[in-house]
Structure 1
């Protein structure tokens, strides 16, 4: 059984095997478009506003 998914960028069908090494994207171009969207903060992962402060503040010396 062959799994087929849609490219997250252009929605083209992608066979999930070695014939599409850029999977889940259909091409290197679509992969770069998606990367650019993350870099431009068009895609985000929701979280609390103070999550980042909690992660990095424990590495800092106390004032």
Structure 2
């Protein structure tokens, strides 16, 4: 098995990662919102739509 972050061989102590560093990078991606679990909840969809619209409004062209 290879590390999903860097592709090196995984270590049994930090499996599926090769090191604690790669495990921490992966955790940071989860905490930063880079990864997301899909939801079909209408409230989640509405919130995502509102956030996207707000983001678009903040990025007005000059």
Which band: TM-score by shorter chain?
Answer: 0.5 to 0.7
Kindly indicate which of the two structures has a greater share of residues assigned to strand: 1
User: 1:23-51 deviations in whole A, cap 9, x for unaligned?
Assistant: 00000000000000000000111112447
Structure scoring higher RCO (CA < 8 A, sep ≥ 6) equals: 1
Larger Rg: 1
RMSD: 1.9
Moved over 2 A (4+): 49-52
Kindly indicate which of the two structures has a greater share of residues assigned to helix: 2
5+ residue gaps, structure 1: 53-63
5+ residue gaps, structure 2: 45-62
| TM score, norm. by length of structure 2 | 0.61
| TM score, norm. by length of structure 1 | 0.60
